Amino acid sequence: MMLGVPVYVALRLGTFTTLLKTKTLINHTPSTKILILTSLHHLKRTISVSATTMSRPRVLITRRDVPQKALDIINDKCEVDIWHESFPIPRDELLKKISGKDAILCCVTEKIDKDVLDAAGPNLKVIGTMSVGHDHLNLEEIKRRGIKVGYTPGILTDATAELTVALLLATSRRMFEAHTEILNGGWKKSVWSPLWMNGWGLLGSTVGIFGLGRIGQGVLRRLQGFGVKRFIYSGHFPRKEGEEMGAEYVSFDNLLAESDFIIVTCALNDETREIFDDKAFAKMKNSAIIVNTSRGGVIHQDALIKALKTKQIRAAGLDVMVPEPLPTDHELITLPNCTLIPHIGSAEATTREAMATLTATNIVAGLEGHPMPAALC
């Protein structure tokens, strides 16, 4: 059955109430009226759903492998645009895709600065970063624009603390070097040689922690069973938690001079950027080992390379470096006394799912005008 032109126009315009009063509908047979009214009610529902869909906030997700639980939270409330490649979203694509978005779910690989915020435009209301660190965010500019930011504190503490201890042991006991000796035939040549592949243990040592926050405390707790003689730490101020765990607060210079092992778990900011420089390495013991699982920028990398090559310090273990990813021909990779892993501190399955879920919840709460579970600003 073909509807008359007035009815068709009314359907197209969605003027449901007006159509009920038109002569065109009144003059139709009862059976035709039923068909028309059914069509109109269906259209009304469609228009309502479409309007709802069109009003859904738009969210850019910069990673394709975000855990599904988090995606479901955002998909339920938002229109989602995901970067589907296996590599981080390129800068030009980020600038293009963020245009007109209401929110973004990003990682530490995405630098959210003034250019990105300008490209996003005034619609951008919420940033959810799947991280604790936020040095990739221009917070001053973000706050100036009134944009809400959610992050993931606390969730990755245990995973990163575990990884830090693993990296400390791998570095001090030369595990990567030893593995290489299996592959290159060195084991066969040196089997059971008394001094071959000797490492350095924690028993009776002094362990210094730079930055006794959640992760630093988690590392300290895990190392208490290794027979460490003395724990010291440095930071802005003494912490009650440090005292409770038997750690002594010292100056940065004393931390450098007295530690057999230095573990870096501080935040990266203007005060800590490249704080481990030539002068700092010169104050450390020649037998000292440094492990960094915070941010690569805390260590002046050229100074570290020099210290490792000249034996100013014994060894280094890095989960973070500059740049990331580190080029395969970088000099750090060539140093046998430098243990490198690719920024996997929080790379534990349940931890990453919890981080993603909190990030998604932060985004939805921010878009709906509710308090974020974990708001940075």
Q: Which residues are catalytic?
A: 343
d(CA 64, CA 46): 31
Among 265, 280, 258, 355, CA closest to 318: 265
The CA distance from 192 to 28, in Å, is 101
Q: Are 206 and 260 in contact (CB under 8 A)?
A: yes
DSSP category for residue 299: B
d(CA 299, CA 277): 7
3-state class percentages of the chain: helix first, strand second, coil last, to nearest 5: 45, 15, 45
**CA 96 to CA 60: how far, in whole Å?**
11
**Which SS3 state, helix, strand or coil, does residue 121 take?**
coil
Three-state secondary structure call for residue 301? helix
Residue spans of beta strands (DSSP E) within 189-303: 206-210, 230-234, 247-249, 261-264, 289-292
Do the Cβ atoms of 89 and 65 come closer than 8 Å? no
Distances in Å between the Cα of 128 and the Cα atoms of 108, 187, 324 are: 11, 49, 21
Backbone phi and psi for residue 299, each to the nearest 5 degrees, phi listed first: -105, 130
Count of residues making up the chain: 377
Phi, psi for 149 (deg, rounded to 5): -130, 130
Give every strand in the sheet of 79-82, ordered side by side.
79-82, 58-61, 103-106, 126-129, 148-150
- Whether residue 317 contacts residue 291, with contact meaning beta carbons closer than 8 Å, is answered with yes
